[in-house]
Structure 1
Amino acid sequence: MKHQYAVIGLGSFGSTIAQELTRLGHDVMGVDIDGERVECYADKLSQTLIADGTNDKVIAELEMTAFDAVVVAIGENLEASILTTLALKSAEVEQVWVKAISEPHHRILSRLGANRIIHPEHEMGIRVAQTIVHPEMLDYISLGNDWLVVEVKVDKRFAGKAASELPLGDDELRLALVKRGTQVWQSPFEDLLLQERDQLVLMGTLNDLLRFSKAQ
């Protein structure tokens, strides 16, 4: 299903989001106060506009409530980020995602009612560190309270074994999916034999996942 999104701030972070949403088949309006940035992405997004998102009247004129979500991707201008978020929430935009650059910024955005607050540098730093320590881990999502969903690759130690033979231990660690190219298997896995480079999607606590990683 095609959705409509708006991205305010077309710097490195915002333009990446806007272009990826476009690549995924959605309509994206890019907004920035810098005319050169707007012109740069005029042919890459559904619509681009030179506008000041901190202005309540501009937000109203752009009919931001019609979008499925609006991303505030303004970089180092803390005041502009806060005022834009305030303008969007005052206009009753349902989903407002905002880039935060510090913990105080995060607290302010939270009080303004931002639906999702993103710390791209912090989150990417954690992701890189986790991948360095556990190179078999392809990706992960934090569920909070020390629970994670991780994607790991099968190496030669588990290749040829049945999925049911994985050392999952107790029920706290669960195998949700096995992926092989475009094929996906869900539980129960019956006698599915694993192949090297298969991808396992596991859910569990950090300690259980670390234990499984060492077992590999």
Structure 2
Amino acid sequence: MRKQFAVIGLGRFGGSICQSLRKQGMEVLAIDTNEDKVNKFANVVTHAVVADSTDENTLKSLGIRNFDHVIVAIGDNIQSSILTTLLLVEEGVKHITVKAQNDYHEKVLNKIGAHRVVHPERDMGVRIAHNIVSKNVLDYLELSDEYSIVELMAGTSVSGKSLIELNVRAKYGCNIMAVKRGDEINVSPSANESLQIGDVLIVIGADKDLTRLEHALFNEED
């Protein structure tokens, strides 16, 4: 049975989530106060409605409590974001993810019961910063304040070396979860796996350890 999602706020962030969820075959209700935005996504999502999410009766009439997950992607109106989240919590929605504008906004959202708070602009900034520091850092995903997953592209410094030779776990405290070569992904690769230029290593570890690993083995200049 497909999960049902509701996305409140159809700006760039909310609209992107709607499109991605539909591509994965999920049922999506898109909500916004702007009729033009709603019309834009009418043929993308399962249902699209013009509605004020800060009105309790409106949310009830939409059956919002029956959705598996509600994403609050309201843009610059922090007051509307907070009030909408509070109403969703009171309605007993199972999973509530909210976009935060700043740290103060995040603190309020956490206090009133949001299940997950995201900072898309800040998170993307972190990913881009890691990417531009080294051409070998392809992607960066923060798991917590201290741990992350990073995609590192093998260059000349590691080409021809096996994972056991690199000994990443012992030397840097990181774990290589998978090696991607072309379209093939080798999960839990053998210690004898020999790396080639262009291989992508998916590595998990503490941020300080990942930084040491990046600088030592994957920080090649153009």
Q: In 2, Cα distance between the equivalents of 1:170 and 1:117? A: 34
Q: Which has the larger displacement, 168-177 or 147-156?
A: 168-177
1:210 aligns with 2:211: yes
Which position in structure 1 is the counterpart of 2:178? 177
Structure 1 equivalent of residue 150 of structure 2 = 150
User: Which residues of 2 match residues 29-178 of structure 1 at below 5 A?
Assistant: 29-168=29-168, 170=170, 172-178=173-179
- Is the contact between residue 160 and residue 194 of structure 1 (CA under 8 Å) also seen in structure 2? yes
Quote how far apart the aligned CAs of 1:167 are: 4.4
Q: Distance in 2 between matches of 1:159 and 1:8?
A: 47
Shift in Å at residue 46 of structure 1? 1.3
Unpaired stretches in structure 1, ≥5 consecutive residues: none
Distance 2:182 2:67 in 1: 34
**Identity over the aligned pairs, expressed in percent?**
37
Q: Kindly state the Cα deviation for residue 145 of structure 1 after the two structures are TM-superposed.
A: 4.8
Q: CA RMSD in A?
A: 1.7
Give distance in 2, aligned partners of 1:198 and 1:209. 18
Deviation of 1:188 after TM superposition, in Å, equals 5.1
- Of residues 159-168 and 172-181 in structure 1, the stretch that sits farther from structure 2 once superposed is 159-168
Summarize deviations over 1:95-119 as a string: whole Å, max 9, x none. Answer: 1111111222111111110011111
Contact 2:127 2:141 in 1 (8 A): no
Tell me, in whole angstroms, the C-alpha distance in 2 between the residues paired with 1:134 and 1:140.
12
Specify the alignment match of 2:202 in structure 1: 201
Q: TM-score, normalised by structure 2?
A: 0.90
Return the TM-score normalized by structure 1: 0.92
Q: How many residues align?
A: 216
Contact 2:179 2:199 in 1 (8 A): yes
Contact 2:95 2:115 (8 Å CA) reproduced: yes
Cα pair 1:32 1:52 within 8 Å, conserved: yes
Whether the aligned pair in 2 keeps the contact of 1:167 and 1:212 (CA below 8 Å) is: no
CA contact (8 A) 1:6 1:30 kept: yes
Which moves more between the two structures, 10-19 or 177-186? 177-186
Aligned mates of 2:102, 2:162 — CA distance in 1: 46
Separation in 2, partners of 1:169, 1:118: 30
The 10-residue stretch of structure 1 (111-120 or 176-185) with the greater mean CA deviation from structure 2: 176-185
Structure 2: gaps of 5 or more residues: 218-222
The answer to whether the Cα contact below 8 Å between 2:162 and 2:192 also exists between their aligned partners in 1 is: yes
